[in-house]
Amino acid sequence: MKPAQARAAEVRPHLVEVRNVVKRFPGVIALGDAVLEIRPGEVHALLGENGAGKSTLIKLLNGIYQPDGGTIFVNGVDQTIGGPREAQALGISTIYQEHTLAADLSPIENIFLGRELKSASGLIVDRAAMKKRAETLWSQFGGDRRDLGRPVAELGGLKQRLIEIVKALAFEASLVIMDEPTAQLPDGERALLLAHIRAMRDQGVSVLLVTHRLDELAGTVDRVTVFRDGRWVGTMPMSETSVDDIIHKMVGRDVGSMVAAAARDADQPLDDGAPEVLRATGLVRRGVLHDVSLTLRAGEVLGIGGLAGSGRTEVARALIGADPIDAGTIWANGRQVSPSSPADAVKAGIFMVPEERKTQGIVAGLDVSRNITISAPNKVAQSSFIQRRRERQVAAGYVKELRIKTRSPAEFIENLSGGNQQKVLFARALFSDPNIIIVDEPTQGIDVGAKTEVYRLIRDFVARGRSVIVISSELPELLGLSDRVMIMREGRKAGEIAVPIGAASDQAAMALLQRQVMALATGGKIEQQH
Amino acid sequence: MNNNTKFDLGALLNIEGATVFFAVAVLILFSSIFAPSFLTPENISNVLVQSVFVVILGIGMTYVLISGGIDLSVGSAMGLAAAVCVYCINAGLPLPLALLIGLATGAAAGFVNAYLIVVLGFADFIATLGTLSLMRGIVEVMTASTRLNSKNPEFMFLAGGSLGGIPFAVIVALVVAIVAGVILARTTMGRAVYGVGLNPKSSFLAGVLVNRVRFSVFVVSGLCAGLSGILLASRLSSVHPAMGTGYELTAIAAAALGGASLSGGRGSVLGTALGALFLAILQNTLSLMSVNAFWFQIITGVIIVLAVLMDGGVRRFVAQRARAA
């Protein structure tokens, strides 16, 4: 299962070569016999489900971990990498998934943080030199030099990502490792970031890209390496493989098309006479939402699309009373409601599984069972006294039903993988027994296997005559799950598209629907580019 | 995982308040060796009564700290509740009514803090710093011209008398600790306090009434301060202008010793009570050993830093074992 030695010798010497590296932690082998070869000037994707060993490998390349066996060659030389600074000295820079920029500092200050250029005397920070260097690099990314003087917090997500790249390049990196660089970006900005990554490659910088979004591989990535359960599975040129083949290697079983898995079965069509369970008319939140109306029927999945910042999430927050509204009415299950907090929405039968699982979803520090029951603790309590035994039983039931991988319901939730945390949040939603669940970016940062399970949960929920609102930046996911998609633009409803049954398995139909969504989301700008 | 029969240090240390329990045990051992009069019944009773004020104050503080807040005004609230209570007694009001008004004063102080913080959106540190100063001023005004003394025997019984050989104040503290401990550890309200402290955003979206929880903990803290102040006034049979000054820091220290986190989400009533007991024993022992009182401050400081360090070390140790298992 190793790349042929002969083939390795034919090509140019590798920039970085990881050979048979082993990394053990108490009780687990995080990496066994890992192999990775990165050529100069290529975009190389490192793929695998959560727990496949990708993060461990990155930390080894950064010197945060030391290998228990095997060798890491940089430019053909056996290297012991003692830490991130030594990695940088060897030309390896890493951009982590979590933003690491200091929000109140300017891009220039961020780029040179802790490594300020000094004047000849070595005592004074040479601002002019830093500014010049930053401007040169920033202009390569088509950036406006005025951006460099403002606090990073005032720049958008894409620009922040680009600043992190500039920060990596400012110190002559020959390999930039990027961990999920597009995770928080809307589609338009994602395409731009990928274009910048290709431009870096064309200038001779190698990029190791870690991503869960397989749709961004084609056209950007030269080669892919797949890991599964801490082991190397394969390395192949992107031109000789397909997304389906990659998924197959990642999960070790055939999942078929992800999107088709998410879609409504043709033999379970939406009942035309199904009653309306939610209606909102004229929702206004000054400066955020302008006259937004929507309806949702029993058994239906309504998608809300649009660019990040278009008001998608804000519609959901208004519906559950997380943000106050200035005007508008909401009817849920035939009754007018005016939720002043999510607690009211829970009582009205509406529950939201929010985006940004770590900061808005899980309560780290509480165990799995307490994370589940937090939405309706009275259901496991008798006159306000929580009955721990009943609580554990309830949690154990969900752990089994939703196949949540945890040692026990008493495990702290932060010790679970992202996909399993998301399943716990679904259990939390189900426990409050709503008939409407709103899911915001339900598969953000979770692996392929967990994604299909989340899709299955949504399908099962609506199959019981209940309803779901899905908010997603991933168009195939949005269109695959929804019966109907409403598109937001600048706080307004830009339009609505019905998704015909069976469209998810028809590539041409999906492509057309995606173009329609993007056209509505951007006001037609994308359409002109095509 | 197969060490059911073995002595499991990790599991034992993981019990809330275990670290401070060991600390108290070690200190008692130390005290009984180096201060021979420590173990006499009179001294033990004395130490227990001495600890009551910080125990009760610390319990309210624990609620606030777990919810992710801080209440700096409790020392002043103690003084104010005591002053109002004794004023009412001296004005001839029946004792139960005077006590009730004293408690209500504490609760009202908490209510003002809660209103400033939750409704008006002030930072808790600033809001309670403001009410600290405000209430201290009122106490000084109330006690400056007329001395507030009360030799009312029933009032003095509160912190001076005993029932069945146990000091009455200790019984009060025990009842408060049990009720507050059970609410925190076993009820939906207590669960919500932890949730709010650990992650207010997630808790809010999951349906926890975050503002109601944050409001309640400050009222609880004010109520505890009121009770503690009344007991202290009974003990001293008077209220002086500086009464309660600095107690807020001792209460925070007791909670921190007991494992409460200043960033919210961690802590327990038992831990705080043991933390307060520890500080009372330490002070008592040092005075029995005729150590200069200034040293108490220094030693307390060192021990708090050590305790927090140790607590972190213990938690890492437990977490490591959990991962390895």
List, as one string, the DSSP characters of B142-192.
HHHSS-EE---HHHHHHHH-EETTEEHHHHHHHHHHHHHHHHHHHBHHHHH
Per-residue confidence (pLDDT) for residue B322, from 0 to 100: 55
Residues of chain A with C-beta less than 8 angstroms from the C-beta of B266: 365
Q: Do B202 and A370 touch (CB under 8 A)?
A: no
DSSP assignment of A415-426 equals: GS-HHHHHHHHH
Kindly report the number of other CB atoms within 10 A of residue B180's CB atom.
Answer: 21
Q: Do A366 and B187 touch (CB under 8 A)?
A: no
Interacting residues of A524 by C-beta distance below 8 A, sequence separation 6+: none
Domains of chain A, by residue range, sit at 1-91+172-254, 100-171, 255-349+435-530, 358-433
In the structure, what pLDDT confidence band is assigned to residue B28 with cuts at 50, 70 and 90?
very high
* B206 closest CB neighbour out of A381, A386, A428: A428
Per-residue confidence (pLDDT) for residue B293, from 0 to 100: 80
Per-residue confidence (pLDDT) for residue B314, from 0 to 100: 66
Kindly report the number of other CB atoms within 10 A of residue A504's CB atom.
Answer: 24
In the structure, what pLDDT confidence band is assigned to residue A110 with cuts at 50, 70 and 90?
confident
Kindly report the number of other CB atoms within 10 A of residue B146's CB atom.
Answer: 9
CATH architecture of B40-314: Orthogonal Bundle (1.10)
Note whether A62 and A84 are within 8 A (CB): yes
Per-residue confidence (pLDDT) for residue A181, from 0 to 100: 84
For residue A288, the 8-state DSSP code is: T
Among A6-15, A154-163, A366-375, B293-302, whose mean pLDDT is lowest? A6-15
Nearest Cα residue in chain A from B192: A374
Residues of chain B with C-beta less than 8 angstroms from the C-beta of A26: 320, 323-324
Over range A285-307, report the average pLDDT.
93
Tokens of A97: 């998934």
Within 13 A of A281's CA, how many CA atoms are on the CB side? Answer: 3
The amino acid present at B30, given as its one-letter code, is: F
Instruction: Tell whether the model's pLDDT for residue A378 goes beyond 50.
Output: yes
Per-residue confidence (pLDDT) for residue A259, from 0 to 100: 67
Interacting residues of A174 by C-beta distance below 8 A, sequence separation 6+: A15, A40, A91, A92, A204, A205, A206
Q: Are strands B166-167 and A484-489 parallel, antiparallel or unpaired?
A: unpaired
CA distance A478 to chain B (A): 23
- How big is chain A by its Cα radius of gyration, in Å? 25
Instruction: Tell whether the model's pLDDT for residue A6 goes beyond 60.
Output: no
In the structure, what pLDDT confidence band is assigned to residue A258 with cuts at 50, 70 and 90?
low
Instruction: Tell whether the model's pLDDT for residue A254 goes beyond 70.
Output: no
CA distance A360 to chain B (A): 4
**pLDDT tens, residue by residue, B207-266:** 999 999 999 999 999 999 999 999 999 999 999 999 999 999 999 999 998 989 888 999
Looking at 3.40.50.300, 1.10.357.10, 3.30.70.260, 3.40.50.10860, the CATH number of the domain A255-349+435-530 comes to: 3.40.50.300
In the structure, what pLDDT confidence band is assigned to residue A459 with cuts at 50, 70 and 90?
very high
Per-residue confidence (pLDDT) for residue A523, from 0 to 100: 73
**pLDDT tens, residue by residue, B119-150:** 999 999 999 999 999 999 999 999 987 778 88
Say which residue, A6 or B68, is predicted with more confidence. Answer: B68
Residues of chain A with C-beta less than 8 angstroms from the C-beta of B265: 365
Residues of chain A with C-beta less than 8 angstroms from the C-beta of B203: 363, 374
In the structure, what pLDDT confidence band is assigned to residue B319 with cuts at 50, 70 and 90?
low
Q: Do A377 and B192 touch (CB under 8 A)?
A: yes
Instruction: Tell whether the model's pLDDT for residue A31 goes beyond 70.
Output: yes
Per-residue confidence (pLDDT) for residue B170, from 0 to 100: 96
Indicate the SS3 state at residue B133.
helix
Q: Rounded to whole angstroms, how far apart are CA atoms B321 and B323?
A: 5
Q: Do B191 and A374 touch (CB under 8 A)?
A: yes
Q: Do B324 and A26 touch (CB under 8 A)?
A: yes
Per-residue confidence (pLDDT) for residue B318, from 0 to 100: 63
Q: What is the average pLDDT score of chain A? A: 86
The residues with which B285 forms a beta bridge, in sequence order, are: none
Per-residue confidence (pLDDT) for residue B316, from 0 to 100: 67
H helix intervals, A184-242:
187-202
Highest mean predicted confidence (pLDDT) among A9-18, A90-99, B9-18, B215-224: B215-224
Over range A357-375, report the average pLDDT.
93
For residue A359, the 8-state DSSP code is: I
Tokens of A413: 């939730």
What is each CA distance from A507 to A190, A481, A498, B169, B247, in whole angstroms? Answer: 22, 15, 16, 78, 71
Instruction: Tell whether the model's pLDDT for residue A443 goes beyond 90.
Output: no
Instruction: Tell me the residues of B at the A interface, defined by beta carbons under 8 Å apart.
Output: 186-189, 191-192, 194-195, 198-199, 201-211, 265-266, 320, 323-325
Tokens of B55: 């125990």
CA distance B219 to chain A (A): 20
CA A332 to chain centre: 31
H helix intervals, A82-186:
84-89, 107-111, 127-140, 157-169
Tokens of A511: 């492509």
Per-residue confidence (pLDDT) for residue A27, from 0 to 100: 58
**Do the first three CATH levels of A1-91+172-254 and A255-349+435-530 match, i.e. the same topology?**
yes
Over range B44-61, report the average pLDDT.
95
Percent of residues, chain A, with pLDDT higher than 90: 44
Among A448-457, A459-468, B169-178, whose mean pLDDT is lowest? A448-457
Per-residue confidence (pLDDT) for residue A297, from 0 to 100: 94
Look at domain A1-91+172-254 and name its CATH class: alpha beta
**pLDDT tens, residue by residue, A43-55:** 999 988 766 788 8
Per-residue confidence (pLDDT) for residue A11, from 0 to 100: 46
Q: Do A322 and B206 touch (CB under 8 A)?
A: no
Size of interface A-B (CB pairs under 8 A): 82
Over range B159-174, report the average pLDDT.
92
Residue A212 Rama label (left phi>0; alpha psi -120 to 50; beta): alpha
Question: Which of A366, A438, A440 to probe by mutation at the B interface, max B CB count within 10 Å?
Answer: A366
Instruction: Tell whether the model's pLDDT for residue A206 goes beyond 70.
Output: yes
